[in-house]
Amino acid sequence: MDLILLVFIFTLAAFLGFELIAKVPSQLHTPLMSGSNAISGITIVGAIIASGTDDKSWLTTLLGTTAVVLATINVVGGYLVTDRMLGMFKKKSAAPAASDAAKKEAAK
């Protein structure tokens, strides 16, 4: 492909991605993160394939291995953030019950 066409596609994708992410309401952030984690999982598979090609080039192996590492960090970090965000919506049953009992004892 022509270099100008590739730069145009990259620039268009960057602007489109920015506009889409900026318009996402906070309620949809966690499902969007889960979707992006799935896409990053596909990226890991592609990076493994790229790093395992047998073309006798150390550059291909280095770039593929770097892609595997970075995509893995992205997936793990995304799942940790998603889990933490979902944990904010869980009921905290043990801690408030103990503090309520302590308040009742102090009131007596």
Per-domain residue ranges of the chain: 27-89
Environment class of residue 25 by beta-carbon count within 10 Å: exposed (0-12), middle (13-18) or buried (19+)? Answer: exposed
On whether the CB atoms of residues 75 and 41 are closer than 8 A, the answer is: yes
pLDDT tens digits for 40-76? 788 888 888 878 877 778 888 888 889 889 888 888 8
pLDDT tens digits for 6-46? 889 889 988 988 888 788 777 777 677 777 777 778 888 88
